[in-house]
Amino acid sequence: MFCNQCEETAKGTGCTIKGVCGKEDEIAAYQDVLIFLCKGISVRNLAAMEKGKGSPDAGLFIAEALFSTLTNVNFDKKRFADQIARAISIRDALPSSGSAEPDACTWKPKGDNDILEKAKTVGILATTNEDVRSLRATLLYGLKGVAAYYTHAEVLKKTDAGIETFLQKGLASTLKDLTVPEMVALVLECGSVGVTTLALLDGANTLSYGNPQITSVKTTVGTRPGILITGHDLKDMAQLLEQSKNAGVDVYTHGEMLPCHAYPAFKKYAHLYGNYGGSWPHQREEFEKFNGPVLVTTNCIVPPKDSYKDHIFTTGLTGYPGVKHIAASANGEKDFSAVIAMAKLSKPPQDLGQGGANLTTGCAHGAVLAIADKVVAAVKRGDIKRFIVMAGCDGRQKEREYYTQFAKALPKDTVILTAGCAKYRYNSLDLGTIDGIPRVIDAGQCNDCYSLVVIAQALAKAFGVGINELPISYNIAWYEQKAVLVLLSLLSLGVKDITLGPKLPAFVSPTVLDVLVKNFDLKPNTTVEADLARMVPAR
């Protein structure tokens, strides 16, 4: 295997024996082959679409297939085997794209060994030129981010044919000998499509569950048994709350489900009790102490300990061998009765001893723009001198303590704009408020980085300046492919001078990095002191 798609990749270059995430080399092989087959579907379907004969199933299947290959989504070989069979079925139902089709359009495995052998020739290292490989990898990981967010929107019945077509265009391009400028253009186009996808998902969430409201969420535990829900899927939350409302159990959020407390549609459920624990890297300790069942709705599952493995349920594209999976019916409904039944027989959650400080969330663009006049006035008075965007991912490594120390060191007249699980490095700090405005404005999940863009654009309009002329600095943490897409989205909007860490992506070659530095002034983070001096200029 060779996998370099996450920030914690082995030795900073790539996982070759087993993924740091826990992914076995066999699963990596199945994922590489699935992506390879999706490229073949893309080539054939794009040609068929030009003749008005495209497959109605190809676009969504590709989105779901790519999503399933994200870090910490699916570790289940059988599920990938089923997807590979489905990919071949969709591809072979399409007409040939021409006389010189690539191997991805015609290859078929006869069994498991064929898949494992094929994986050796179709993964990232199949591209020998380092810079071409870097651009293809950057595009692929951006496409995975698009696929993840698009799948979330599709679950809520929001679709976009243009997004599905671009996923196929991007995949098909990796089978062509394009020039470097052409590949760079596709990478930036991926960022632009990312903005469209994030907007689509934002609209789907708010239309379904209302505009988030600024909300204080408790972190203490109750006396009743509980269900812990983690991941990102709001529809799963909606169904779980409705099905468990009279069951005598409480529902707790974990990780990126924290923002659920801010949606009006969920606030009506009295048994949505609070948030338990922090971000995904800590789940092996936190899930063990929760005592009740844990529902994993999307990515961020970590290989569970035997001590609580029988309490884990996966749903959607998430999977782990030996863990119970809850599939959706044909109409998209799910039956969580097994989760609820287990909760009734469980002990109440064990307190994690984290001090019980409430967490503030729900500061999405609707809520913040509702107090925009107050924010603008605070800036004009000099009460707020700078905004720091500290969005993105959390991770396991000790070096991520940098973000906690950076937040602590910020002057009291600065405001943090955040989204994603990176916030767990500082959202429990008592940073106070400025004229009633929280100093940590948490827009929500990683997909809610879109809200931060909307807020920045609104501020730029209010002050009559460009987005890069605002008193905003960007100190972004990344871990996986959705964060790659968010970064590309910011670059496509022309945002410059972004600081990225804890370390730069292993898949970006020196030449490609030089392009990003020259065109966008992208920088790696260094020390708290040096970065603070650069991002918060002397007064």
pLDDT tens-digit readout, 357-395: 899 999 999 999 999 999 999 999 999 999 999 999 999
Nearest to 359 by CA among 474, 287, 441: 441
Nearest to 151 by CA among 213, 226, 220, 61: 61
The single-letter code of the amino acid at 228 is: L
What pLDDT, on the 0 to 100 scale, is given for residue 355?
Answer: 82
Mean pLDDT over 462-477 rounds to 95
The enclosing H or E element of 360 equals strand 359-361
What DSSP designation does 418 have? E
Residue 300 has pLDDT above 70, yes or no: yes
Output the CA–CA distances (angstroms, integers) from residue 142 to 125, 188, 191, 509, in the order listed: 18, 10, 7, 16
Residue 191 has pLDDT above 70, yes or no: yes
What pLDDT, on the 0 to 100 scale, is given for residue 107?
Answer: 98
Q: How far apart are CA 40 and CA 57, in angstroms?
A: 14
Mean pLDDT over 391-416 rounds to 96
Output the CA–CA distances (angstroms, integers) from residue 196 to 146, 190, 191, 382, in the order listed: 9, 10, 9, 34
What pLDDT, on the 0 to 100 scale, is given for residue 225?
Answer: 98
Local confidence band at 62 (pLDDT 50, 70, 90 cut-offs): very high
Local confidence band at 440 (pLDDT 50, 70, 90 cut-offs): very high
Q: What are phi and psi of 115, to 5 degrees?
A: -65, -45
Q: How far apart are CA 466 and CA 495, in angstroms?
A: 10
Q: What is the CA radius of gyration of the chain?
A: 23
What pLDDT, on the 0 to 100 scale, is given for residue 199?
Answer: 97
Residue 99 has pLDDT above 90, yes or no: no
Mean pLDDT over 300-328 rounds to 97
Residue 539 has pLDDT above 70, yes or no: no
Mean pLDDT over 311-333 rounds to 96
CA 75 to chain CA mean position, Å: 17
Is the pLDDT higher at 519 or at 538?
519
Q: How far apart are CA 50 and CA 538, in angstroms?
A: 57
Q: Which long-range contacts (CB under 8 A, 24 or more apart) does 178-185 make?
A: 180/131, 180/132, 180/135, 183/132, 183/135, 183/136, 183/139, 184/135, 184/515
Which tens digits make up the pLDDT trace of 339-350? 999 999 999 999
Residue 16 has pLDDT above 70, yes or no: yes
Local confidence band at 507 (pLDDT 50, 70, 90 cut-offs): very high
Q: How far apart are CA 416 and CA 431, in angstroms?
A: 10
Which tens digits make up the pLDDT trace of 274-290? 999 999 999 999 999 99
What pLDDT, on the 0 to 100 scale, is given for residue 538?
Answer: 78
* Mean pLDDT score across all residues of the chain: 96
What pLDDT, on the 0 to 100 scale, is given for residue 354?
Answer: 82
Which tens digits make up the pLDDT trace of 67-76? 999 999 999 9
